[in-house]
Amino acid sequence: MRIAPLLPLVIAVLFLSIARAQDETAPRRLPRENLLVYRDAANHLKTVTSIADWQKRRAEILAGMQTVMGKLPGDEKRCPLDVQVHEEVDCGKYVRRLISYQAEPGSRVPAYLCLPKGVLEKDAPPVHAALCLHGTDNVIGHGTVVGLGRPNRNYAGELAERGWVTLAPNYPLLAKYQPELETLGWESGTLKAVWDNTRGLDLLETLSYVKHGHYAAIGHSLGGHNSVYTAVFDPRIGAVVTSCGLDSYLDYYQGKPEVWQPGHGWTQVRYMAKLADYRDQLDTIPFDFHEMIGALAPRPVLIIAPLRDSNFRHESVDQVAAAAGQVYQLYGQPNGLQVLHPDVEHDFPREMREAAYTFLEKSLNAKPPQN
């Protein structure tokens, strides 16, 4: 396994080499590799010199995401969760419940809720909780992360064995969860998943045995980027682990035109169909993982990017981390963003899962960094 340097000399050089802001007109799309610039009210390019400046750039990142994903709704879509328990299984150290909750009128989300047996005892102290987001699986979906399917995916169950409450909602349009996105008013499956996850956090907020307001998100592959997207929009997620979940959109399968045709890769309905509009001009996509990981600062983030991953390029991940690292440096949290490069394929082996759990435990037990 190789550990990537997160703040190489290039970052220091970048700080020194950023041109003093001029009154030039800002480009339509600000550079993904340089997050320390923003546009002012007059559309002039300015240098980020403070957290307040960065928040202006961050707001533009979120706006860019929503031009493609659709606008994240507010309380108008919130409704009673109406949690229902459909099955309960004794898993030794914890109880696994198959539940469903109402994310919005007309849409119930199936999820697994794993509860360490200790939290069910009278006067038990509250424990940490995590959203455990699954990878692509069109047969059992979220069942993969509770030990019902593929090997090396049981992170919801394993965290529960370590004393965490875990919630694993199913991703839209996979396995038995087939919401009518258009009827419900969603422009992308990505944002529907973000909303379902946000409502999952609302559910965790109702549980007396959970430490509230500061949760973890962990996911592999589809779950890896689902964790990032959700955390960008929901500040209650205090730490993120993303395994095999990202590289720059520019580098996705080497930018081959066929993977950007409608209905392929990122442009599938369950992701963001509008991305197909950018297939001949990928550099104009109004957001990228450089910016989204930067938007998570100063919250702790661990990116696991295997050297032999055939889906996402580890070299691209290093470029993403170098760009996002500028923002962590701005916040005075240079070690808040970490990258691991195991010498494996598109997988989440035990060694990496153990590193992820340790990272999450350390992150949530520490005093939260100030935004």
Domain 75-364 = CATH 3.40.50.920: no
Residue 20: the pLDDT is 44
Q: What is the mean pLDDT of residues 283-306?
A: 98
In the predicted structure, residue 232 carries a pLDDT above the cut 50: yes
Give the C-alpha separation, 144 to 321, whole Å: 28
Residue 220: the pLDDT is 98
Listed by start position, the domains of the chain span: 37-64, 75-364
Q: What is the mean pLDDT of residues 87-112?
A: 98
Q: What is the pLDDT of residues 126-160, one digit of tens each?
A: 999 999 999 999 999 999 999 998 899 999 999 99
* No. of helices (H) and no. of strands (E), the chain: 9, 12
Considering only residues 9 and 329, tell me which one the structure prediction assigns the higher pLDDT: 329
Sign of the Cα torsion 221, 226, 228, 229 reads positive
* Across 120-124, 345-349, 353-357, least confident range: 120-124
In the predicted structure, residue 270 carries a pLDDT above the cut 50: yes
Q: What is the mean pLDDT of residues 115-128?
A: 95
Q: What is the mean pLDDT of residues 229-238?
A: 98
In the predicted structure, residue 240 carries a pLDDT above the cut 60: yes
Residue 367: the pLDDT is 82
Residue 24: the pLDDT is 75
Q: What is the pLDDT of residues 305-351, one digit of tens each?
A: 999 999 999 999 999 999 999 999 999 999 999 999 999 999 999 99
Give the C-alpha separation, 369 to 358, whole Å: 18
pLDDT category of residue 25 using cuts at 50, 70 and 90: confident
Which residue, chain included where needed, has tokens 């923002």?
A: 327
Q: What is the mean pLDDT of residues 9-13?
A: 41
Q: What is the mean pLDDT of residues 215-225?
A: 98
pLDDT category of residue 356 using cuts at 50, 70 and 90: very high
DSSP 8-state symbol, 31: -
In the predicted structure, residue 13 carries a pLDDT above the cut 70: no
Full-model pTM: 0.93
List C-alpha distances in Å: 231 to 242, 295, 298.
Answer: 11, 9, 12
Residue 11: the pLDDT is 46
Residue 3: the pLDDT is 53
Give the C-alpha separation, 313 to 96, whole Å: 35
Q: How many CB atoms lie within 10 A of CB 270?
A: 18
317-320 contacts, C-beta under 8 A, 24 or more apart: 317/4, 317/246, 317/247, 318/4, 319/33, 319/248, 319/290, 320/246, 320/247, 320/248, 320/288, 320/289, 320/290, 320/293
Q: What is the mean pLDDT of residues 201-229?
A: 97
Contact indicator for 42, 163 with CB cutoff of 8 Å: no
